[in-house]
Structure 1
Amino acid sequence: MTLPPLDEMLADAHVVALPMHTRFRGVQVREAMLFEGPSGWTEFSPFVEYDDLESAAWLAAAVEFGWEERPAPVRETVPVNATVPAVPADAVRAVLARFHGCRTAKVKVAERGQSLADDIARVREVRERMGPEGRIRVDANGGWNVDEAEHALHALAPYDLEYAEQPCASIDELAQLRERVAYMGIPIAADESVRKADDPLRVARAGAADLLVVKAQPLGGVRRARDLVAASGLPAVVSSALDTSVGIAMGVALAAALPELDYDCGLGTGSLFVSDVADPPLQPRDGALAVTAVVPDAARLEALAASGDRREWWRKRLTRCHALLAAG
């Protein structure tokens, strides 16, 4: 990777703050830094709590997508799922209505401050709304221990789960749980155990997951994520990191470049935003996203611009992460 000069990136950077319909992952307003490189628009948007070392991988992804040739797609559209935050059951209908044509839903569970009864009510409502042919997956973000996860999946199994994403935090816990719940026929997917791991292939070698959830930005770019999937020997779901339409386009490029795509991808999260940088935003139509370049709308970049102090915060963060990449 050839790292563009820092001054060039700073001069072209746009910092935006996107309001969300519902708090998601503890985020009500999503901040991101956008650039236009020789290959098109790209995004740098590690979550604000991430340290510089972890965030540097996100910058490597942004540079690859904006300054290097993009992999050739093997498909023209990518099927995507609806994403249901940890909302009350009576709010599910309004959430699903924002995901046009999606027949798969990922439902957040194990939210801090909520109970298993809340999760069951939410999943039950999604099943009722989607009908017997809809596919439902749950995502606990590592919020359960092994016993809690086994109990929760047993309680949720009647709603016909496609898989459970990161039910426990550690790889050892995932391996134990996968063995315990094999009789239920609920596959285990690994997300944080891939994108936040020093060795993202360890979860596959440990037999701790049936499939991987991969995200282009946290894994350092489209090519690195694609190569990781190939090396793992497991099927993959490509997901977003709560990106703007620009960042989602990076995920779509990854999904479009995978030789096999057995699952709907978690790239419909643009529907969680009140407003986005593109006009129209990259959101599902008939349950899929087109493989396309995204160019932000100038008026929206201006309207969604972050405050001066937040722009300065991101500029300093970019400077530090650029130095880490430059140092190898």
Structure 2
Amino acid sequence: MVPDVEELLDGAHVVRLPLAARFRGLTEREAMLVHGPRGWAEFSPFVEYGDAEAASWLAAAIDAGWGDPAPVLRERIPVNATLPAVPMERIAEVLARFDGTRTVKIKVADAGETLADDVARVREVRRILGPEGRIRLDANGGWNVDQAEHAAHALAPFDLEYLEQPCATVPELAELRERLHDWQLPIAADESVRKADDPLAVARAGAADLLVVKVQPLGGVTRALRIVAEAGLPAVVSSAIDTSVGLAMGARLAAALPELDVDCGLGTAALLAADVTGDPLTPAGGHIEVRPVEPDLALLAAHAAPPERVAWWRDRLRRAHAHL
């Protein structure tokens, strides 16, 4: 059952949190937190997303704050470090924020960056990790098929775990996967799942080896679990630079998956320079805990968004609610 708008807005908070490193061109992250009978939940679609897409993020908040709890099959979730396209001299500093992680996801194909920049960054991460560490790359659909194949050749010496969303479309992913068939380099689909009208199309097309699933864009734990089950592919749970409240939602999804064989992208509280709780879900020993997060009222006040942004988010929630 969908709560009405006023129930969702009652007691809601909008925060603006500084980032420790620029991510997707952002230096701050805005989010709205709402409180339901099941606890706190987050509504934080990126500001450029339209209302229909934002409605899935609102559905996830309702699922977390008002829905039935999912089963908890594990109490800790192994997580990876996430490395934005930072200058070379900052790589070690950023990775040090992710305590005990054995896997690093490196953002590549970033605007203004070259393949040579990506290769240098990956080389430095491999040096820091040593041969036992795992490296996965996320291009956010930034390459065409030829560029992705060329990049795969250039980056092959660094023993990659997988390529995440190297190309934007499902047909491109399918073609690239065929070209790389003998390489044993898996392809992971992210945007082709969370931003698609049909999140199962990539699996039906044989265009990916595993799915990256994010609880907010997919409309909550229940729907995400159903997508993973119907796709029949291994899944890794990731985040979208959420507050610790949003990461707790992602952790509940990861805890409910019948199988979880890879490190998850749920350690991104380490990229925040501030959070909404004094006990954030930052990595410790390469894991985060599966637990509820209670925001600190003093931190909510300290990081409250300006009044005009609060009004913008409240209007946005109303518009998204109309799509549910």
Specify the TM-score bucket, using the shorter chain as the normaliser. over 0.9
Offset of 1:11 from its aligned partner? 2.1
Offset of 1:8 from its aligned partner? 1.8
Offset of 1:49 from its aligned partner? 0.2
- Number of aligned residues: 324
In 2, Cα distance between equivalents of 1:68 and 1:36 = 12
In 2, Cα distance between equivalents of 1:237 and 1:201 = 15
Offset of 1:178 from its aligned partner? 0.5
Deviations 1:305-327 (A, max 9, x none): 000000000010011111221xx
Offset of 1:243 from its aligned partner? 0.6
In 2, Cα distance between equivalents of 1:216 and 1:291 = 14
The answer to whether the Cα contact below 8 Å between 1:41 and 1:246 also exists between their aligned partners in 2 is yes
Q: Is 1:51 matched up with 2:56?
A: no
Name 1:264's counterpart in structure 2. Answer: 263
Structure 2 gaps of 5+ residues are none
The answer to whether the Cα contact below 8 Å between 1:105 and 1:135 also exists between their aligned partners in 2 is yes
In 2, Cα distance between equivalents of 1:183 and 1:127 = 23
Name 2:310's counterpart in structure 1. Answer: 311
Report SS of the residue matched to 2:27. Answer: strand
Amino acid in the other structure paired with 1:34: L
In 2, Cα distance between equivalents of 1:135 and 1:126 = 10
Taking the TM superposition and a 5 Å limit, the aligned residue runs for 1:245-284 are 245-284=244-283
Taking the TM superposition and a 5 Å limit, the aligned residue runs for 1:1-328 are 2-325=1-324
Deviations 1:51-110 (A, max 9, x none): 000000100110010011210210110000000001122211001100000000000000
In 1, Cα distance between equivalents of 2:281 and 2:87 = 26
Offset of 1:239 from its aligned partner? 0.2
Could you state the TM-score of these two structures normalised by the residue count of structure 2?
0.99
The answer to whether the Cα contact below 8 Å between 1:157 and 1:184 also exists between their aligned partners in 2 is no
In 1, Cα distance between equivalents of 2:55 and 2:271 = 26
In 2, Cα distance between equivalents of 1:152 and 1:302 = 45
Structure 1 gaps of 5+ residues are none
Amino acid in the other structure paired with 2:309: R
Offset of 1:183 from its aligned partner? 2.0
The answer to whether the Cα contact below 8 Å between 1:79 and 1:264 also exists between their aligned partners in 2 is yes
Identity of aligned residues (%): 65
The answer to whether the Cα contact below 8 Å between 1:18 and 1:31 also exists between their aligned partners in 2 is yes
The answer to whether the Cα contact below 8 Å between 1:88 and 1:118 also exists between their aligned partners in 2 is no
Offset of 1:7 from its aligned partner? 1.2
The answer to whether the Cα contact below 8 Å between 1:78 and 1:255 also exists between their aligned partners in 2 is yes
Report SS of the residue matched to 1:12. Answer: coil
Report SS of the residue matched to 1:7. Answer: helix
Offset of 1:194 from its aligned partner? 0.3
In 1, Cα distance between equivalents of 2:131 and 2:179 = 26
| 97-106 vs 24-33, greater mean Cα deviation | 24-33
Amino acid in the other structure paired with 1:45: S
Amino acid in the other structure paired with 1:93: A
Report SS of the residue matched to 1:324. Answer: coil
Which of structure 1's runs of 4+ aligned residues deviate more than 6 A?
none
Deviations 1:110-165 (A, max 9, x none): 00111001000100011000110000000000000000000001100100000000
